With several copies, the nearest count.
Chain A
């Protein structure tokens, strides 16, 4: 874990994705969730030798397919046509989720509605009356990988913190999130609590003021 740092401006989405990509260990097996996390793949370097898993049955997924490479039978979990890298492999759905649930993936990066200070994740259902629920692989992804990282905006449109004491949205998985990347700060959650690794466009003190939980300043 790098030292505590601070920048004057909030992070752009690409900057967030770049930081996540840089934190992924060399040679890791990684699942990138739908939405913002997918963008992380654009910042992984060849030297990192990261292998991407897609839960619909593939390891060694390459970039999004374009032009003649588009093949309706080669898609990612977001149903977008992708490509195959040398050394890829295909497997059926039960094997694919066994790979995830069995703890074989090093990192899974997901979006979130809320994360609690205990690392509980809410990202599948708003709980709004009348909303039709849909879970997909969210609950499997949340608890399957060795580490689950979240990318999200830190505040709601109304300005409320999405890093909370306790979830108010329905739970996706308990105690599973170990890092949160936001435009304003990067957090690490472990036994000692919630540590702020960096702040962006906000000071540690301002952040501590706005968030409803106790924060540790990174060393």
Chain B
């Protein structure tokens, strides 16, 4: 189905409901769908499980969702930062659950969900406290941990440009988690700088095929 083209970020995220699991793209500010996160803040959905590389920074975006106790659980690789004070406070108060995942396992688990893989053996984390309680196996003399897919109700991500069929291209290191998150969610909501006609993107250069995109919204270009 060609994606719905929303007229605002608020309309784009309007389906996100209480209790949803939401994949949020971005690594640092690069690729972070700021306007969609702000709209998620405004829409009022609560009891969210959020998957992101981090757990919010300073007083914006995901950090505000955490400050308002709208996030019951964060799955991420790097929650603690110099400016992660809202997460730190919620965590120390026992008001947010944290699932800490090595970054490469986080990416591979998201990819596995989109690819219909039931689980996979990864060497990352073997012999560490992040493997505690998980199944492990030695294969050809090397230790591996069994990791499971991370699927979600929604993904909110940022791309550079889309066509009307939802095909996406990204820009530089803003690509990061976007392509895999789009595959792992029931509904993918994407903010882009520009939507062009089908046929305007070179089929060889499409990074995310439109099959993975459900909603598009144009937000003023960033560069």
**Residues on A facing B (Cβ under 8 Å):** 26-29, 49, 51, 53-60, 71-76, 79, 84, 86-94, 96-105, 120, 125, 130, 132-140, 143-144, 170-174
Contacts and interface: CB of A to CB of B under 8 A. Distances in A.
B223 A97 contact: no
A87 B128 contact: no
B171 interface: yes
Interface residues of B, number: 73
B90 to A, nearest CB: 11
Interface of B: 1-2, 27-31, 53, 77-81, 87-88, 91-92, 98, 100-105, 107-108, 110-111, 113-117, 122-130, 143, 163-165, 167, 170-180, 183, 197-199, 201, 203-204, 206-207, 209-212, 222-223
A107 to B, nearest CB: 12
B210 to A, nearest CB: 7
B173 A75 contact: yes
Contact of A73 (B92, B105, B223): B223
Contacts of A60: 165, 203
A139 B174 CA distance: 23
In order of increasing CB-CB distance, the 6 nearest A-B pairs are A86-B199, A97-B104, A87-B198, A98-B115, A101-B116, A27-B1
Nearest to A98: B115
Contacts of B176: 56-57, 92-93
B171 A55 contact: no
A103 B186 CA distance: 10
A100 B179 CA distance: 16
A135 B130 contact: yes
B172 A140 contact: no
A28 B210 CA distance: 12
Contacts of B206: 89-90
29 contacts: A49-B1, A51-B165, A56-B27, A56-B173, A57-B173, A71-B172, A72-B223, A73-B173, A74-B173, A75-B29, A90-B204, A90-B206, A92-B177, A92-B179, A97-B103, A99-B211, A100-B104, A101-B108, A101-B115, A102-B115, A103-B116, A135-B103, A139-B125, A139-B128, A139-B130, A140-B104, A173-B126, A173-B128, A174-B127
B129 A171 contact: yes
A123 to B, nearest CB: 11
